[in-house]
Amino acid sequence: VLQQQKNLDGYVGFASLPNQVYRKSVKRGFEFTLMVVGESGLGKSTLINSLFLTDLYSTEYPGPSHRIKKTVQVEQSKVLIKEGGVQLLLTIVDTPGFGDAVDNSNCWQPIIDHIDSKFEDYLNSESRVNRRQMPDSRIHCCLYFIAPSGHGLKPLDIEFMKRLHEKVNVIPLIAKADTLTPEECQQFKKQIMREIQEHKIKIYEFPETDDEEENRLVKKIKDKLPLAVVGSNTIIEVNGKRVRGRQYPWGVAEVENSDHCDFTILRDMLIRTHMQDLKDVTNNVHYENYRSRKLAAVTYNGVDNNKAKGQLSTKSPLAQMEEERREHVAKMKKMEMEMEQVFEMKVKEKVQKLKDSEAELQRRHEQMKKNLEAQHKELEEKRRVFEDERSNWELQQRLEQQKMEASRTLEKNKKKGKIF
Amino acid sequence: MSNVLSRVFQNEEKRNLSLGGHVGFDSLPDQLVSKSVTQGFCFNILCVGETGIGKSTLMNTLFNTMFENEEASHYQNGVYLRPRTYDLQESNVHLKLTIVDTVGFGDQINKEDSYKPIVDYIDTQFENYLQEELKIKRSLFNYHDTRIHICLYFIAPTGHSLKSLDLVTMKKLDSKVNIIPIIAKADTISKSELHKFKIKIMSELVSNGVQIYQFPTDDEAVSEINASMNAHLPFAVVGSVEEVKVGNKTVRARQYPWGVVQVENESHCDFVKLREMLIRVNMEDLREQTHARHYELYRRCKLEEMGFKDTDPDSQPFSLQETYEAKRKEFLGDLQRKEEEMRQMFVNKVKETEAELKEKERELHDKFEQLKRMHQDEKRKVEEKRRELEDEMNAFNRKKVACETLSSQPLKKDKDKKK
């Protein structure tokens, strides 16, 4: 479609579109699903409470570390929070038992299964004929808690992130960062990022924008990854201010002090600036990957595998079937033509054979006829010859007879003295 | 439009919690807006109306720009749709505007099929979107959406009532697109006539069951203005790109000997109301309704047509996998059956032809058997004749021999006699 740039000669008013979108989005409300994963005791519940400034986890609703069962569970709780007229339906998914057993092989499997089942639910509701409510319970972000060993990642950390980085936005966090000095923290971060790169793990990336200012901020954040956080459920008075923090004999580690930890960076990024992007990436990348793999499996189920390999077509399963139908029609036409050809050829052969045998018989008949005619003629000739001979002989006989008669009569007459 | 809360299942617990400070998610609408501004917006307008009724002029007036438009002739064979896309920008908002004109509408003698190209065009845009949505590898977020968001139906300012073409066309379109009926060239109708005309039109629409777009009243921010505007439908508009000096201002207007009709004067016409409703207040709602209502209806019908269902005969919901597998099985079975049919047809054909040829062979065989018999007869006859001849020859030879023997005798007899 040809497009042209047009300059407007005055205010039209579609510049209000963003306001219209704003208004409608507030009316609709927002939802967000956050998953927290890590061994017990890393401060996950505390961090969530600190992030959302509410008692999501409490004595009534204990955190994952208090709910460990024999196997790794994946559990969720929904809370509704309001701020500035904006409604947010927040779902926190936690995984009690993760990494806490002696043998942690496959402890990530229930988590992968959970994420996939949410994708599956969404895919099914998106594919229904009657689509009404499409609840979006897909996981938008996974906060992965790394124990503050100060050395590097554990094998379980690497294994988990490798298996999940293409299914969900993974944000690794250094937990309980107040056990590391700034230098130790710096080293730790460098080591972790090195290992992440080494294992080609794709953690959530901040999108680049056209805005230079924003890009500078993004770069600053990138240099601090992974974020080292501290959480607290208690409020302490520091220099006349009431802040969330952890009281130690030697001082107070303030949660929201950027010199003490990266909590504010995490909060700002996760909630204030990139929450929408996390949802978009989940929808446009992770979900689409799941969907295309699922649909390809359904579409090519039964079809020649060579076709399906490597060539993940962009066609819909219906278009695929349409194409198969067309191929089949063409194949059938070809088959029909070939069969027709073979048939014609065989018929021709048989007809020819018939003709040949007819000709042969005809020939033989002619031959016999000729033969017979020749015999006839020969016989005729023979008869003619014979009859000639006979009539000649008979004539001769008659002449002789006459002669004899004549001479006898003469004799008789002589005797009688008739003849002088 | 449902709120997100309605999407929580009834038996799922959700707690209302209060916040102990400013968390910051109240920026979510801004985050969303900022993303959509970056992406840019798309809006598609369909103008349906007779040739010369003022569609192009109104578009130019609405958007304060001169869109290309050759004047259409009245002699088109049929109706055809002409879409044109423009890139507009206002402050930081990019709008990809597509204006679709119906060329030749209302010009033919027989207008029975006039609505068809319009319906086809609308359906095609839905179909294109559906195809993209169904693809295995799809990119919906940067898809150029061409679905029609609004149909402005231009009513001729007769002052009496709707034409039957208008009713027929709007009835065919009302389940496929948002319709806003407007009275064109409203400067030819007086105020009192206009009032009667509007009432007549609305009652005709209602009595014929034509669903036009209602400005939404569910959002308190705009419900009042929308409700009052609903009462002014259909909007009586005047369009003009010419400017006339009125007092000390230059305004867009139409200059007549008896006065100046000012486009943006609300007591002269409803242009301002139209612009307000269409662009400044409800543009986003029109987009939403198109996607959530009209497109979904199209999609539902299309899928049902193709045999898709949401539940199996036992009312158990199908999963996507099951649906596609079932469809695929049916499809493959169908193909198999066709193949079998064709093979069977050939087998029959071969059988028939073989029988024919065998018949011919038999005839040939009979024919020659007959000839053979004839030949045998002839041969026998010849043989008989030959024997006859032989017999005669033998008889003759005997006779000859007998005669020769006899011929030597008579002399003797005579001699005997002489003695």
Alpha helices (H) in A10-127, listed in sequence order? 17-28, 44-52, 109-127
What CATH number is attached to the domain comprising B198? 3.40.50.300
Give the residue among A205, A229, A25 at the shortest CA–CA distance from A144: A229
Q: What is the pLDDT of residue A266?
A: 94
Over residues A373-397, the mean pLDDT reads: 87
When CB atoms are compared, the residue of B19, B35, B414 closest to A276 is: B35
Give the residue among B226, B129, B292 at the shortest CA–CA distance from A20: B226
Number of compact structural domains in chain A:
1
When CB atoms are compared, the residue of A8, A88, A131 closest to B296 is: A131
Q: What is the pLDDT of residue B8?
A: 58
Pair (B111, B176) in one structural domain: yes
Q: Nearest-CA residue of chain B relative to A278?
A: B31
Give the range of the structural domain holding residue A86, as residue numbers without chain letter.
Answer: 18-229+261-300
CB atoms A87 and B5 under 8 Å: yes
Does A15 score more than 90 pLDDT?
A: yes
Pair (B282, B382) in one structural domain: no
Q: What is the pLDDT of residue B308?
A: 76
Mean pLDDT computed over every residue of chain A: 87
Q: What is the pLDDT of residue B411?
A: 55
Give A213's Cβ-side CA count (13 Å radius).
Answer: 0
pLDDT digits (tens, 9 = 90+) for A171-183: 999 999 999 999 9
For testing contact with chain A, the best of B87, B324, B379, B404 (most A CBs within 10 A): B324
Residue B326 placed within a domain: yes
Pair (B86, B182) in one structural domain: yes
Q: Which of A56-70, B16-30, B270-284 has the lowest mean pLDDT?
A: A56-70
Residues 147..166 of B with a Cβ closer than 8 Å to A: which? Answer: none
Does A311 score more than 70 pLDDT?
A: no
Contact residues, chain A, for B276 at CB < 8 Å: 13
When CB atoms are compared, the residue of B5, B17, B335 closest to A29 is: B5
For testing contact with chain A, the best of B95, B135, B371 (most A CBs within 10 A): B135
Pair (B290, B338) in one structural domain: no
Residue A12 placed within a domain: no
From B306, B333, B348, give the residue that closes a domain: B306
Residue A10 placed within a domain: no
Pairing relationship of beta strands B243-246 and B249-256 according to DSSP bridges: antiparallel
When CB atoms are compared, the residue of A13, A15, A312 closest to B275 is: A13
Q: What is the pLDDT of residue B375?
A: 87
Alpha helices (H) in B263-319, listed in sequence order? 271-275, 283-289, 296-305
Q: Rounded to an integer, what distance in angstroms lies between the CA atom of residue B20 and that of residue B127?
A: 50
For testing contact with chain A, the best of B16, B32, B143, B399 (most A CBs within 10 A): B32
Q: Rounded to an integer, what distance in angstroms lies between the CA atom of residue B236 and that of residue B261?
A: 13
Does B280 score more than 50 pLDDT?
A: yes
* Tokens encoding A151: 């050395």
Residue B17 placed within a domain: no
CB atoms A347 and B353 under 8 Å: yes
Over residues B123-136, the mean pLDDT reads: 91
Give the residue among A207, A161, A243 at the shortest CA–CA distance from B20: A243
CA distance to A146, A169, B262, per residue, from A226 (Å): 9, 14, 64
Residue A26 placed within a domain: yes
Residue A114 placed within a domain: yes
Contact residues, chain A, for B288 at CB < 8 Å: 24
Burial label, A198 (beta-carbon count in 10 A; 0-12, 13-18, 19+): exposed
Residues 58..87 of A with a Cβ closer than 8 Å to B: which? Answer: 61, 77-87
Cβ of residue A243 closer than 8 Å to a chain B Cβ: no
From B275, B306, B337, give the residue that closes a domain: B306
How many residues in total does chain A contain?
A: 420
Q: Rounded to an integer, what distance in angstroms lies between the CA atom of residue B343 and that of residue B351?
A: 12
Three-state SS for A369? helix
Q: Do residues A180 and A148 touch, judged by C-beta distance below 8 A?
A: yes
Amino acid of residue B32: L
- Please tell me the distance in Å from B60's CA to the nearest CA on chain A: 10
Residues 346..405 of B with a Cβ closer than 8 Å to A: which? Answer: 346, 349-350, 353, 357, 360-361, 364, 368, 371-372, 375, 378-379, 382, 385-386, 389, 392-393, 396, 400, 403
Pair (B196, B336) in one structural domain: no
Q: Do residues B230 and B180 touch, judged by C-beta distance below 8 A?
A: no
Over residues A369-375, the mean pLDDT reads: 88
pLDDT digits (tens, 9 = 90+) for B408-417: 765 555 555 5
Cβ of residue B7 closer than 8 Å to a chain A Cβ: yes
Cβ of residue A191 closer than 8 Å to a chain B Cβ: no
Over residues B278-291, the mean pLDDT reads: 95
Per-residue exposure over B361-398, b if at least 16 CB sit within 10 Å of its own CB, e if not = eeebeeebeebeeebeebeeebeebbeebeeebeebee
Over residues B308-315, the mean pLDDT reads: 66
For testing contact with chain B, the best of A6, A22, A341, A343 (most B CBs within 10 A): A6
Beta-ladder partners of B152: B47, B180
Pair (B380, B276) in one structural domain: no
Residues 400..419 of A with a Cβ closer than 8 Å to B: which? Answer: 400, 404, 411
Pairing relationship of beta strands A235-238 and A241-248 according to DSSP bridges: antiparallel
When CB atoms are compared, the residue of B31, B375, B382 closest to A276 is: B31
Residue B404 placed within a domain: no
Does A305 score more than 50 pLDDT?
A: no
What CATH number is attached to the domain comprising A44? 3.40.50.300
pLDDT tier at A49 (50, 70, 90 boundaries)?
very high
Cβ of residue B411 closer than 8 Å to a chain A Cβ: no
CB atoms B28 and A376 under 8 Å: no
Residues with Cβ within 8 Å of residue B284, at least 6 apart in sequence = A17, A20, A21, A24
Q: Nearest-CA residue of chain B relative to A359?
A: B364
Pair (B298, B361) in one structural domain: no
Contact residues, chain B, for A129 at CB < 8 Å: 299-300, 303-304, 308-310
Q: Which residue has the higher pLDDT, A314 or A210?
A: A210
Residue B284 placed within a domain: yes
Contact residues, chain B, for A268 at CB < 8 Å: 24
Residue B183 placed within a domain: yes
When CB atoms are compared, the residue of B85, B137, B342 closest to A3 is: B85
Q: Which residue has the higher pLDDT, B276 or B6?
A: B276
Q: What share of chain A is helix, strand, coil (3-state, %, to 5)?
A: 55, 15, 30
Pair (B202, B339) in one structural domain: no
Residue B250 placed within a domain: yes
Over residues A344-366, the mean pLDDT reads: 87
Q: Do residues B253 and B240 touch, judged by C-beta distance below 8 A?
A: yes
CB atoms B95 and A14 under 8 Å: yes
pLDDT tier at A269 (50, 70, 90 boundaries)?
very high
- Please tell me the distance in Å from B204's CA to the nearest CA on chain A: 32
Q: Which residue has the higher pLDDT, B74 or A315?
A: B74
- Please tell me the distance in Å from A309's CA to the nearest CA on chain B: 14
- Please tell me the distance in Å from B102's CA to the nearest CA on chain A: 17
When CB atoms are compared, the residue of A32, A301, A358 closest to B325 is: A301
Residue B290 placed within a domain: yes
Does A301 score more than 70 pLDDT?
A: no
Chains A–B, number of C-beta pairs less than 8 Å apart: 343
Contact residues, chain A, for B13 at CB < 8 Å: 77-78
Write out the H or E segment, with its range, that includes residue B251: strand B249-256
Residues 278..297 of A with a Cβ closer than 8 Å to B: which? Answer: 280, 284, 288, 291-292, 294-296
Does B250 score more than 80 pLDDT?
A: yes
Residue A382 placed within a domain: no
What share of chain A in percent tops pLDDT 90?
47
Mean pLDDT computed over every residue of chain B: 87
Q: Which of A169-183, B72-86, B168-182 has the lowest mean pLDDT?
A: B72-86
ipTM of the complex: 0.76
Residues 88..107 of A with a Cβ closer than 8 Å to B: which? Answer: 88-89
Cβ of residue B87 closer than 8 Å to a chain A Cβ: yes
According to the per-residue pLDDT averaged within each range, which of A368-372, B74-78, B99-103 is highest? B99-103
Q: What is the pLDDT of residue A331?
A: 86
Burial label, B208 (beta-carbon count in 10 A; 0-12, 13-18, 19+): middle
Contact residues, chain B, for A52 at CB < 8 Å: 17, 19, 23
Q: What is the pLDDT of residue B282?
A: 94
Residue B336 placed within a domain: yes
Amino acid of residue B195: H
Write out the H or E segment, with its range, that includes residue B130: helix B115-134
Three-state SS for B206? helix
Pair (B72, B101) in one structural domain: yes
Does A259 score more than 70 pLDDT?
A: yes
Please report the DSSP string for A354-368 in residue order.
HHHHHHHHHHHHHHH
Pair (B302, B376) in one structural domain: no
When CB atoms are compared, the residue of A1, A18, A324 closest to B93 is: A18
Q: Which of A96-100, A292-296, B347-351, B401-405 has the lowest mean pLDDT?
A: B401-405
- Please tell me the distance in Å from A277's CA to the nearest CA on chain B: 8
Contact residues, chain A, for B387 at CB < 8 Å: none
Give the range of the structural domain holding residue B191, as residue numbers without chain letter.
Answer: 37-306
Q: What is the pLDDT of residue A328?
A: 83
Give the residue among A108, A114, A223, A100 at the shortest CA–CA distance from A162: A108
Pairing relationship of beta strands B41-48 and B93-103 according to DSSP bridges: parallel
Q: What is the pLDDT of residue B4?
A: 66
Q: Nearest-CA residue of chain A relative to B328?
A: A321
Q: Which of A91-100, A108-117, B56-65, B392-401 has the lowest mean pLDDT?
A: B392-401
Pair (B245, B347) in one structural domain: no
Three-state SS for B246? strand
Pair (B50, B147) in one structural domain: yes
Does B326 score more than 80 pLDDT?
A: no
pLDDT digits (tens, 9 = 90+) for A187-203: 999 999 999 999 999 99
Cβ of residue A267 closer than 8 Å to a chain B Cβ: yes
Burial label, A153 (beta-carbon count in 10 A; 0-12, 13-18, 19+): buried
Q: What is the pLDDT of residue B102?
A: 92
Q: What is the pLDDT of residue B168?
A: 93
Q: Which residue has the higher pLDDT, A132 or B179?
A: B179
Number of compact structural domains in chain B:
2
Does B301 score more than 70 pLDDT?
A: yes
For testing contact with chain B, the best of A24, A331, A337, A376 (most B CBs within 10 A): A24
Q: Rounded to an integer, what distance in angstroms lies between the CA atom of residue B315 and that of residue A74?
A: 30
Amino acid of residue A365: H
* Tokens encoding B119: 């319906």
Q: Nearest-CA residue of chain A relative to B381?
A: A376
Q: Rounded to an integer, what distance in angstroms lies between the CA atom of residue A387 and that of residue A383?
A: 6
According to the per-residue pLDDT averaged within each range, which of B75-84, B164-173, B367-376 is highest? B164-173
pLDDT digits (tens, 9 = 90+) for B180-226: 999 999 999 988 899 999 999 999 999 999 999 999 998 888 999 99
Residue A66 placed within a domain: yes
What share of chain B in percent tops pLDDT 70?
91
Contact residues, chain A, for B379 at CB < 8 Å: 372
Q: Which residue has the higher pLDDT, A402 or B272?
A: B272
Alpha-carbon A373 to chain mean position: 86
Q: Do residues A173 and A266 touch, judged by C-beta distance below 8 A?
A: yes
